[in-house]
Amino acid sequence: METKVRVIPNARPSIGKEELLEVQKVFETGWLGMGSVVFEFEKAISGYLGAKHVICVNTGTSAIHIALDALGLKEADEVIVPSLTFVSSIQAICACGATPVFCEIDPDTLCIDLKDVKKKLTKRTKAIMPVHYGGEPCDMEGLISLARQFSLNLVEDAAHAFGSRYKGKMVGSLGDLTCFSFDPIKNITCGEGGAVVTGDDKLAQIIIKKRILGIDKDTWHRYKNQRSWSYEVVTKGYRYHLSNINAAIGMVQLRKIEDFLRKKRDVCGQYNAAFNGLKGITLLKRDYGNIAPFNYVIRVKKDRDALIGYLKERGIDAGIHYIPNHLQPAFKQFYTPLPVTEGVFDQIATLPLYVDMNEQDILRVIEAVLSFLKC
């Protein structure tokens, strides 16, 4: 009888009894929606990041949308964004009625190319959305300087970068608005969730109202898990708030983050040691002493798709992050040629990376990649 090879997934969450116990506690209170646990989670994130305001929402996509919406973007306003990002970044821009203006990436880091951003500026540009790809922070000094020069807003898509540092400062304490994701495979998970982080008091108050249908009310009762019937609707809003159930999972995950990052950095270090200097692949520039690695991406110089198929045959799930958005049918009206992005897209492959990878898993991946390169 043929033995079935255990599949090594590309990514998966690290969750267990501790998270389940905290969810049980929420169940016992009978208050499952937004309440005191969400408030505690926001306070804990604020302390971890050194951030003034943290507003938790139900997804990372909601975080980006509500951050852009709080800026009052309207039709014909432009947001410069790299094409090599998850589709949620672009959908959030479009949901505000604004226009995504696609720009190039640095092929060494896959982060936004500041030189190309400058070329894409127009009178209609209202915001720049850098994406901290794979946990690697973008050139925030350059971006902040450019934004100030032209009175633009910086909305950081930091879905990959919770726990990353830039020149000694935590991502989330740098720009105008920073958006995080806590979906199942991010550096910490709430099951589903996200957060907007800002140092701007006015923007924070707008976002707080918008995340729960534009309602302005005394939140003391809500955070104390007591009901209050009085409320006023003062602005356009959405049902984007996080639940106590999801926040309970996030609280446990946050306590584990440094251990999570240590383990993921160790996997990346082993990959680097095995692949550095090989003729068939190029490694990205990464400072694993400071970043929170979300994924591990290599550039395959010849026949990337063949490598992915080769790994799949051996029970190893490799992926591609991401298909450039300027090539997607839904965004064809925003198309612009991006030769660097398109060239990188033809080469990138994402290898398995998650907290609970064991040494056998890591060795299997390394040996399979080396074996492919010898073919």
Q: What is the spatial distance between Cα 216 and Cα 371, in angstroms, rounded to a whole number?
A: 60
Q: Is 10 left (phi over 0), alpha (psi -120 to 50) or beta?
A: alpha
Q: How far is CA 84 from the centre of its chain?
A: 13
Q: Which two tokens stand for residue 109?
A: 């880091």
Q: What is the spatial distance between Cα 115 and Cα 127, in angstroms, rounded to a whole number?
A: 16
Q: Is 167 left (phi over 0), alpha (psi -120 to 50) or beta?
A: left
Buried b (16+ CB within 10 A) or exposed e, 41-60: bbebbbebbebebbbbbbbb
Residues 6+ apart with CB under 8 A from 281: 275, 298, 299, 300, 301, 369, 373
* Phi, psi dihedral angles at 191 (to 5 degrees): 90, -65
Catalytic residues: 186
Q: What is the spatial distance between Cα 106 and Cα 338, in angstroms, rounded to a whole number?
A: 12
